[in-house]
Structure 1
Amino acid sequence: MDALFIASTMARRGLLTPGDPVRVARQFAALGRWGFGLAGEVRQAAARSPHRIAVLDDERQVTYAELLDRSSRLAAALPVRAGDRVGLLCRNSARMLEALIGVATRGADAVLINTGLSAHQLDAVVRAQGLAAVIHDDEFAGRIAGLPNRIGEKDVDELIGSTPAGATAPPERPGRTIVLTSGTTGVPKGARRPTPGGFGPLCSVIDRIPLRAGERIMIAAPLFHTWGYAGMQIALALRATIVLRRRFDPADVVATLAAHQVTALVAVPVMLQNLLDVPTGYRGLRVAAVSGSALPGGLATRFMDRYGDVLYNLYGSTEASWVSIATPADLREAPTTAGLPPHGTRVTIVDGQIHVSNGMLFEGYTGQDAASRDVVGTGDLGHLDEKGRLYVDGRADDMIVSGGENIFPGEVEDLLAALPQVREVAVVGVADDDWGQRLAAHVVLHPDGRLDADAIRAHVRANLARFSVPRDVVFLDELPRNATGKVLKRELRRNS
Structure 2
Amino acid sequence: MTDLLDLPQGSVVALQVPGSTAYVEVVLALLGRGVVPAPLDPRLTAAETAGILEDLEPVAHVTDPADVDDLAERVAGEPRRTPLARPMHMTSGTTGRPKGVWSGVLTEEQGRALVEEERDLWGFRSDDVNLVVSPLHHSAPLRFAMGTVLAGGRLVVPGPFDVARLTHAIESEHPTTAFVVPTHLARLFAHWDEVGTPDLSSFRLLAHAGAACPQPVKERLLETFPPGTTWEFYGSTEGQLTACPGEEWRERPGTVGRARPGRSITVAEDRTIWCVVPEHARFTYYREPAKTAEAWRETPDGPAFTVGDHGRIDDDGYLYLDGRREDLVISGGVNVYPAEVEDVLSAVPGVLQVAVFGREDPDWGQRVCAAYVGEADPADLAARARERLSPAKRPKEYHRLDDLPHTPTGKVQRLLLPDLVEPDPA
TM-score range for the pair, normalised by the shorter chain length: 0.7 to 0.9
- Which shows bigger deviation, 201-210 or 82-91? 201-210
- The Cα offsets for residues 366-386 of structure 1, whole Å up to 9 and x where unpaired, read as 114699972112311111123
Task: Give the secondary-structure state (helix, strand or coil) at the position aligned to 2:234.
Answer: strand
**Which residue of 2 is the match for residue 269 of structure 1?**
182
Q: 2:45 aligns with which of 85, 104, 118?
A: 118
Where does residue 46 of structure 1 map in the other structure?
Answer: none
Shift of 1:454: 2.3
Q: Which segment drifts farther, 431-440 or 363-372?
A: 363-372
Between the two proteins, what is the percent identity of the paired residues?
A: 28
Q: Which residue of 1 aligns with 2:385?
A: 460
In 2: Cα distance, 1:183 partner to 1:399 partner: 17
Tell me which structure has the larger Cα radius of gyration.
Answer: 1
What are the Cα deviations for residues 48-69 of structure 1, in whole angstroms up to 9, with x where unaligned?
xxxxxxxxxxxxxxxxxxxxxx
Q: Residue deviations 1:408-457, cap 9 Å, x none?
A: 11111111112221111111111111110011111100xxx3x3222221
Q: Does 1:253 align with 2:166?
A: yes
Residue of structure 1 equivalent to 2:272: 353
* Cα distance between partner residues in 2 of 1:489 and 1:464: 21
> Is 1:472–2:385 an aligned residue pair?
no
1:102 Cα deviation (Å)?
A: 4.0
- Does the 8 A contact of 1:358 with 1:374 survive in 2? yes
Q: Does 1:283 align with 2:200?
A: yes
1: CA distance, partners of 2:4 / 2:56: 22
Q: Secondary structure at the match of 1:375?
A: strand
| Match in the other structure for 2:353 | 424
Tell me the CA shift for residue 207 of structure 1. 4.5
2:424 is matched with: none
Between the aligned partners of 2:178 and 2:75, the Cα distance in structure 1 is 36
Q: Which amino acid aligns with 1:353?
A: T
Which letter maps to 1:324?
T
Structure 2 residue aligned with 1:366: 286
Secondary structure of the 1:386 match is coil
Instruction: Give 3-state SS (helix, strand or coil) of 2:366's partner.
Output: strand
TM-score, normalising length: structure 2: 0.85
For residues 20 and 78 of structure 2, the distance between their equivalents in structure 1, rounded to whole angstroms, comes to 25
Rate the CA distance shift 1:403–1:165 in 2: closer, same or farther, 3 A: closer
Question: Which residue pairs with 1:315 in the alignment?
Answer: 234
Aligned pair count reads 401
Cα 1:353–1:255 shift into 2, 3 Å: same
Cα pair 1:298 1:335 within 8 Å, conserved: no
Q: Does 1:108 align with 2:108?
A: no
Q: How does 1:65-104 map to 2 (within 5 A)?
A: 82-104=9-31
- Letter aligned with residue 12 of structure 2: R
Secondary structure in 2 aligned to 1:180? coil
1:105-133 deviation digits (Å, cap 9, x = unpaired): 55432112134432211011111100222
Distance (Å, rounded) in 1 between the aligned partners of 2:6 and 2:260: 41
Which of residues 142, 151, 154 in structure 1 aligns to 2:66?
Answer: 154
Aligned to 2:100: 190
Separation in structure 2 between the aligned mates of residue 217 and residue 223 of structure 1, nearest angstrom: 12
**Structure 2: distance between partners of 1:116 and 1:383:** 37
Compute the displacement of 1:271 (Å).
Answer: 1.2
Check the 8 A contact 1:298/1:414 in 2, yes or no. Answer: no
Paired position in structure 1 for 2:328: 399
In 2, Cα distance between equivalents of 1:459 and 1:494: 26
Letter in 2 for 1:84: S
CA gap of 1:107–1:197, structure 2 versus 1, over 3 A, is closer
Q: Report if aligned partners of 2:26, 2:71 keep a CA contact under 8 Å in 1.
A: no
1:250 to partner: Cα distance: 1.9
How big is each residue's C-alpha offset from its partner over 1:212-244, in whole Å with a ceiling of 9 and x where there is no partner? 442111121222212112212321332211221
2:411 alignment counterpart:
486
Is residue 230 from structure 1 mapped to residue 143 from structure 2 by the alignment? yes
- Tell me how far 1:324 sits from its aligned partner: 0.9
Instruction: Give the secondary-structure state (helix, strand or coil) at the position aligned to 2:286.
Output: coil
One-letter amino acid of the structure 2 residue matched with residue 121 of structure 1: E
Structure 2 partner of 1:243: 156
Kindly state the Cα deviation for residue 167 of structure 1 after the two structures are TM-superposed: 7.7
Partner of 1:376: 305
Identify if the C-alpha distance between structure 1 residues 154 and 466 changes in structure 2 by more than 3 Å, giving closer, same or farther.
same
Aligned match of 2:299? none
Q: Structure 2: 5+ residue runs without aligned partners?
A: 297-301, 422-426
